[in-house]
């Protein structure tokens, strides 16, 4: 199978909300399609990928460096021996002549290409991606996975009323686990938001909070003390994502589960977190964003490193709620998948077609990652396929 072309474009996924660290008012993302000379069921075989959220589009790196490397390669270099493409071999082609570490935004651009190649490989097998990953890995395929609804950003007006409305709507769609932002308002206001939600959650439902890595040591410790009385499922990124010594200190001071990792970008980063972050493998949650950390090929390396440090896959809840992560949770035996609570924004619309019942999502059964079933498929990918 020969890769004929890789097309990409940057799309606007802005929304009128903010977290403790940033506004999403200018947010963009890349979408990408890998076109081949093969066909399946009478249609051209095309691999698709949609970015994660939070790091903007990767068009420059894709166009200047990574796409030309892939399209110039002899197909023998990425062939799998069965007439399809081997994602691991394609990854090595894309990463040729790249230095160790120095990840920058490179890991997001490579992650997009990786995601499209996995979508392509699964389509070539006629299998949903989660089932293909289970076949290749050590986990049993899960066609239904535990999910949590993520959102609770700050609004300029009617913040608590809109927050409650957002969570009630997610409850109505079948969710039982929720996560909202903290740190974008005063501590007292954050407590009011948490209390308002705890008052409307039903028995067995859970609430987690996300500081987006914005707290200094003193603020983090003040928040930990103030939030200790609430039955929170976890506190996410209470401190800067790269300050492993401070994670170690914070973890030693609280029994509440901590979650982090969405702003680390490689297996080496994950290993450093394991070595120096003081995280507890009986309760803490690892959220490496697969799309933003070089894709599934690198994520499989991350899982190997975690196992070496005594971590089970059940402690992994990859960031962002994109289809790649949802497939990986089902196919690699991970613990929990994120889904966007706000389905009015484009990012949430991509997974709006996935049914959730009693906190469990039914994974798509169509070949590949499942983009074609998204209600916004034509809007997002149409321009790349014509």
**Applying CB under 5 A, which residues contact Mg ion?**
210, 236
How is residue 109 annotated by DSSP?
H
- Tell me whether residue 161 or residue 242 sits nearer to Mg ion (CB atom): 242
Q: How far is the CB of 181 from Mg ion (least distance, A)?
A: 8
Task: Round to whole Å and give the CA distance between 322 and 348.
Answer: 9
Joined tokens for residue 266? 């490689």
β-bridge partners, 297:
none
72 half-sphere exposure, CB direction, 13 A CA radius: 10
Catalytic-labelled residue, pool 58, 319, 322, 349: 319
- Tell me whether residue 210 or residue 269 sits nearer to Mg ion (CB atom): 210
Q: How far is the CB of 237 from Mg ion (least distance, A)?
A: 6
Task: Round to whole Å and give the CA distance between 252 and 239.
Answer: 14
| DSSP assignment of 300-324 | HHHHHHHHHTT--GGGB--SS--HH
Q: Beta-carbon neighbour count of residue 7 at 10 Å?
A: 17
Joined tokens for residue 199? 């008052």
- Tell me whether residue 19 or residue 343 sits nearer to Mg ion (CB atom): 19
Cα-flanking dihedrals φ and ψ of residue 347, to 5°?
A: -60, -40
Q: How far is the CB of 286 from Mg ion (least distance, A)?
A: 12
Task: Judge whether 319 counts as a catalytic residue.
Answer: yes
Catalytic-labelled residue, pool 181, 247, 322, 349: 181
Place of tokens 């009630």: 168
Q: Are 22 and 8 in contact (CB under 8 A)?
A: no
Residue with the CB atom nearest Mg ion in the bound state: 210
Q: How far is the CB of 214 from Mg ion (least distance, A)?
A: 11
How is residue 215 annotated by DSSP?
B
- Tell me whether residue 263 or residue 343 sits nearer to Mg ion (CB atom): 263
- Tell me whether residue 236 or residue 284 sits nearer to Mg ion (CB atom): 236
Task: Round to whole Å and give the CA distance between 232 and 251.
Answer: 15
Residues in CB range of 222: below 8 A, 6 or more apart: 187
Task: Round to whole Å and give the CA distance between 280 and 252.
Answer: 9
Q: How far is the CB of 234 from Mg ion (least distance, A)?
A: 10
Task: Judge whether 181 counts as a catalytic residue.
Answer: yes
Q: List the catalytic residues.
A: 181, 319
């Amino acid at each position: 199978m020969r890769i004929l072309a890789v097309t990409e474009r940057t799309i606007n996924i802005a929304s009128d909300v903010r977290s403790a660290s940033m506004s999403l008012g200018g947010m963009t993302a890349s979408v990408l399609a890998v076109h081949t000379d093969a066909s399946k069921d009478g249609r051209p075989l095309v691999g698709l990928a949609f970015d994660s959220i939070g790091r903007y589009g990767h068009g420059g790196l894709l166009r200047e460096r990574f796409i030309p490397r892939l399209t110039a390669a002899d197909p023998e270099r990425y062939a799998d021996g069965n007439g399809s493409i081997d994602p691991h071999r394609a990854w090595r082609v894309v990463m040729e002549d790249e230095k160790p570490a120095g990840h920058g935004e490179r890991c997001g651009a490579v992650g997009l290409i990786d995601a499209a190649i996995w979508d392509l490989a699964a389509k070539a097998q006629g299998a949903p991606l989660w089932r293909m990953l289970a076949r290749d890995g050590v986990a049993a395929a899960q066609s239904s996975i535990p999910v949590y609804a993520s959102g609770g950003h700050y609004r300029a007006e009617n913040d608590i009323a809109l927050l409650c409305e957002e969570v009630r709507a997610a409850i109505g769609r079948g969710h039982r686990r929720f996560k909202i932002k903290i740190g974008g308002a005063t501590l007292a206001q954050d407590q009011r938001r948490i209390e308002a939600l705890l008052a409307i959650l039903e028995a067995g439902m859970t609430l987690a909070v996300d500081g987006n890595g914005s707290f200094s040591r003193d603020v983090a410790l003040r928040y930990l003390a103030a939030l200790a009385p609430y039955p929170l499922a976890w506190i996410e990124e209470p401190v800067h994502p790269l300050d492993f010594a401070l994670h170690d200190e914070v973890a030693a001071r609280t029994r509440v589960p901590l979650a982090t990792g969405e702003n680390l970008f490689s297996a080496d980063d994950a290993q450093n977190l394991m070595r120096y972050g003081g995280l507890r493998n009986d309760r803490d949650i690892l959220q490496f964003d697969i799309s933003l950390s070089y894709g599934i090929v690198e994520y499989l390396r991350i899982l190997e490193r975690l196992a070496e440090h005594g971590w089970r896959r059940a402690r992994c809840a990859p960031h962002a709620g994109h289809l790649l992560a949802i497939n990986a949770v089902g196919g690699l035996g991970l613990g929990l998948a994120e889904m966007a609570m706000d389905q009015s924004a484009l990012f949430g619309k991509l997974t709006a077609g996935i049914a959730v019942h009693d906190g469990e999502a039914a994974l798509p059964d169509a070949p590949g990652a499942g983009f074609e079933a998204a209600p916004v498929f034509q809007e997002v990918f149409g321009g790349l396929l014509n």
